[in-house]
Amino acid sequence: MRRVVIVEDEELVRRGIVQAVDWAGVDCAVVGEAADGVEGLEVIGREKPDLVVTDIKMPRMDGIEMLKRLRDRGDPAAVILLTAYSDFSYAQAAVKLGAVDYLLKPFHDGELEEAVERLGERSGQAPAREAPEVSAGAKSRYVTEALGYVGEHYAEPDMSIAQVAQSLGLSEGHLSHVFKRETGKTLGSYITEVRMGRAKELLKDCRSKVYEVAEAVGYRDITYFSAAFKKTMGVSPSEFQKRGIE
């Protein structure tokens, strides 16, 4: 199992990354977290993670400088950088220092998991270990019930992978492994897929307001919803509605 350290100065964002990302589904475990680059260097030195997920813009020491210092001291940890800035110069600096991926914030459910999976593919690492084998019938039942639960509860803002697992009486890690093995996608990415699909249908009604659609598919923050929709569909919700895209 890959050991992960999260470095992010915004506490709510950091908590979200630690708790909402389907780490078990990509055979990872968060072993430490830090609020800036200075603290990050200390935690990384102590925990010796295989992967560091870090914001770029942080107080005291930013993610680029932290990555540079990690490389200077010979630390081989893979690094995924998060930033709200699309300036290509940041990406260039990150790549030169050995960052393995670069995600723009806000990223939606499943995107960070996909970045971790790409890391495994690039490094030739063996795929994530599967959950203990269960009978075909039980396995299909778990996935079927998870699909049904998401279909019924996608509009609830607090719906999470942990909540789905609890409803089935399974551990989060077990459900994540079984779901990925059976469907080929993470449960987090499936939740986003369902929400965006429903949003697309609702937006076809020109009378629907974007904020109403966001709330109807489980998003409290219209800005986050709009960013997630654009990343999925290629256009913003308002553009989608205006163009009448099928």
Each residue of 126-139: pLDDT tens digit? 333 333 333 333 34
Specify the 3-state DSSP secondary structure of 34. strand
The model carries a pTM of 0.53
**pLDDT single digits (tens) 92-137:** 666 667 777 777 777 777 788 888 887 776 554 433 333 333 333 3
28-34 vs 2-7, strand pairing mode: parallel
Q: How far apart are CA 14 and CA 28, in angstroms?
A: 16
Q: Which residues on adjacent β-strands are paired with residue 2?
A: 28
Please, are residues 98 and 67 in contact by the beta-carbon 8 Å criterion? yes
CA distance 137 to 242: 46
Given this model, what pLDDT does residue 8 score? Answer: 96
Are 235 and 245 within 8 A, CB to CB? yes
Q: Are strands 78-83 and 28-34 parallel, antiparallel or unpaired?
A: unpaired
Low-confidence ranges of the chain (pLDDT < 70): 85-96, 121-140, 244-246
Query: How far apart (Å, rounded) are the C-alpha atoms in residues 31 and 41?
Result: 14
